[in-house]
Structure 1
Amino acid sequence: MAGQVVSQDEFIKARKEFLAKEKAALRANDELVSELRHLPMVKIDKEYTFDGPNGEVTFADLFDGRKQLIIYHFMFAPEDEVGCDGCSFQADNLPSSLSHLHARETTLVLVSRAPLAKVEKFKARMGWAFPWYSSFGTDFNYDFHVTNDETVTPVQYNYKGKDEILNDKNPLNRVHVKGESPGMSVFLREGGDIFHTYSTFARGLDTMLVTNRLLDITPLGRQDEVDLKYHDEY
């Protein structure tokens, strides 16, 4: 059993003490998010094209007429037949309806290096409806450090260089020195200009996992011992 069995009065007392800690954490997060909105931006001068269900599109096209763009960098290499199971878990936790984002001038899309035919096949299997584009044959993933190949560009992931990654105490983090890695990037469009405003990687993506947030408030927690699978394989 997760916790001690107590009287109702003792439960209320302990819950109120913990509530004070929860409120402090929420206030701290409010301050952090406010600070995030004032981070500096970088203008994107490079031209990128992507393959979509209706043909080739430009970077600006991904915004779909809105001012803001959120891209989830989904791990799906050209040689793979299916997408990453961890990224699939992340995708399962994205909004089932994008209308609330759209009403607030924000578009959400997925981008992977796998060719569009593989992307479309896997997307159909998973039953996802959100837009998903292929960056196959472009520098996009390398430039935003979600694909690492030092023959193409210097290694960087989660704002760490190659040596820092290889010296990471967590061996699970060392894999990011080569190949595909997950991430999320945010862009702002002002007139004909596009600006990169934010990117997060690794544990930074955990805050978007609604499943984990729900499990966090249960006595059994996240139950990390349960093997992660594609949602159609449980």
Structure 2
Amino acid sequence: MTSNDPERIASAPKLNQPAAAPPVVGRNAFDAALAQQVAREKEVTRHNDRVSAERRRLPMMEVENYAFEGPDGPIRLTELFGEHYLLLVQNVMFGPDWEQGCPSCTWAVDNLPANMGRVTENGIAFAMISQAPIEKLEAWRTRNGWPHLWVSSHETSYHYDWGWTRTNDQGEEWQLPGYSYYLLKDGVPYLTYMTTARGTEAILPTAHIMDRTVYGRQQDWENSPEDWPQYPTYG
């Protein structure tokens, strides 16, 4: 889970060095404790390999070839693949009546590889989809300096069909962030996997870097030692 306010990351409390710190031990004690931790992490890795193996065995389903609105006009879902057969879509929260994109989703886009060629050279195209009109998306993309293709689902049912926009009994709408993975086979787009909530963390390197520091993400949901710095996740 990541903060919904990137400005909080640079706030003064975050930058001040905390007083709390782990106990100091000698080399032998440190090596023993580290070895135990590495053993636990290896089991996590093996478990993740087992889960990934099951993911590769998921069935797929045909998806409507939606007609989105891109910066240069209408663009079909199949066209988002470009010359590739795999497609990763980041569903960025940006409601039709919003003036700015979701700060947390913006942070996630900023976490993408600096060289997206490392993704495309493996046959994986990348695009972003939001419900806001294309003019708003282009303005936010330009402001953040993103080179990625970003299309609008505003005139389609895409966001409602796949639960990226949800409605409660009172008619109030809210959005979810996440990723959709597609395969193009014989000219037909198929959905092979999708994830939201903390499932998005799998491709957020900054979160994993923070996890391995002594203080973690410093967020209030974490199980940390007493007196460890923690701040509201969405504060």
Q: How does 1:144-155 map to 2 (within 5 A)?
A: 144-149=162-167
Q: How does 1:74-113 map to 2 (within 5 A)?
A: 74-113=92-131
Taking the aligned partners of 2:193 and 2:134, their CA distance within structure 1 comes to 26
SS in 1 for 2:118: helix
**Which ranges in structure 2 are unaligned for 5 or more consecutive residues?**
1-19, 220-230
Root mean square deviation, CA, Å? 1.8
2:190 partner SS: strand
The equivalent residue for 1:168 is: none
Residue 28 of structure 1, aligned match among 26, 36, 47: 47
Cα distance between partner residues in 2 of 1:100 and 1:94? 11
Q: Verify: 1:5 aligned to 2:19, yes or no.
A: no
Once residues 65 and 183 of structure 2 are traced to their aligned partners in structure 1, the CA distance between those partners, rounded to angstroms, is 15
2:76 corresponds to which residue? 58
Q: Which residue of 2 aligns with 1:186?
A: 181
SS in 2 for 1:188: strand
Q: Is the CA contact 2:65–2:189 (under 8 Å) kept in the aligned structure 1?
A: no
Change (3 A) 1:227 1:34: closer
Amino acid at match of 2:181: V
In structure 1, the partner of 2:210 is 215
Please give the secondary structure, in 2, of the residue aligned with 1:137.
coil
Give the whole-Å Cα distance in 1 for the aligned partners of 2:87 and 2:115.
16
Deviation at 1:52, TM superposition (A): 1.3
CA distance in 1, matches of 2:214, 2:174: 37
TM-score by length of 2: 0.82
> Which residue number corresponds to residue 16 of structure 2?
none
Structure 1 position 228, deviation (Å): 6.6
Check whether the contact 1:86–1:228 (CA below 8 A) recurs between aligned residues: no
* Contact 1:63/1:69, CA 8 A, preserved across alignment: yes
Q: 5 Å matches for 1:130-141?
A: 130-141=148-159
Secondary structure of the corresponding residue to residue 11 of structure 1:
helix
Runs of 4+ in 1 over 4 A off after TM superposition: 226-229
1:39 aligns with 2:58: yes
Identical aligned residues as a percent: 33
Q: Quick one: distance in 2 between partners of 1:19 and 1:202?
A: 27
Once the 2 structures are TM-superposed, how far is the Cα of residue 93 of structure 1 from its aligned partner?
1.0
Whose relative contact order is higher, 1 or 2, with alpha carbons under 8 Å and at least 6 apart? 2
Report the Cα distance in structure 1 between the residues aligned to 2:120 and 2:176, rounded to whole angstroms: 27
